[in-house]
Structure 1
């Protein structure tokens, strides 16, 4: 069974529309991507937003993102990145086809979205509690004979970019130890 998924990361929206980051109008850029997604045939089953959805972590940025996403008839799930404010996201990014769940299934696939956010830091980290939850979710998906797509914001290994490698997942070996226990993980994506 096929599940058609589109991943978007690092929108970096601002409280005020059409602000620029590194010379790019982040909102206009996102709207062009949204237009391209809406033109896909068939439409994706799911949209995964994998962090840094707002540059400033403002409620206004998340509210506008929610409004923009209402134009897409696609179930959308999200996780936080190092520029995001999780509490504000939880308040603003729910309703309609926008979902805050971090574990869900479609067809014979289980999707697990990990929170690697460390408030005030660029790098990410997975707490003992998060890793325990991950292990439990992986055991549940294995019992259901599901394939697994795992998502997090922070890269769990060096990507060869000085800029991006500064925001990598710290102590990634802790994640890999859990993943090594399971053979039904098909894909790990990050923002």
Structure 2
């Protein structure tokens, strides 16, 4: 479920001090009900994710088109990524987070872990259009009891092209990508509980 921005901005997350120049684009309540110790499972499920196995053929198609366009126009060239076009957010970390392990790496998606605490995890990606952050957190679920995941997407567009790109994909993101993504997260959450 999409949440108001204040569900992210009102909480004392460390990402606020690290990426104040990034714009908050989306905040979502994740369908991942659990207990206080289930955040690690959410992170494991996320790092194993892959856009090519979305249950929605529309979402799979949109991602496939995006990756093809990226190859065709060089949007995803390594020269446009973290550590080349943009500095990694790890360079901005305060000492306590810099000294801690950054968190697990992704198996297939083009994200890199930035930092991990007991209840929040940030990962980043960059290409010629944006420098983006996926911020996952583990929050009390006041409506249903227990806890649940929350995802915030923060973006720093790369000039006018990046701003135009984000404006162009906004309706696709909200209507065709996020709803099936939430269903996929819910399904994987239930299946991983069964495996556990």
**TM-score (ref. length: structure 2):** 0.25
Higher relative contact order structure (alpha carbons within 8 Å, sequence separation ≥ 6): 2
**TM-score (ref. length: structure 1):** 0.26
**Structure richer in helix, relative to its length:** 2
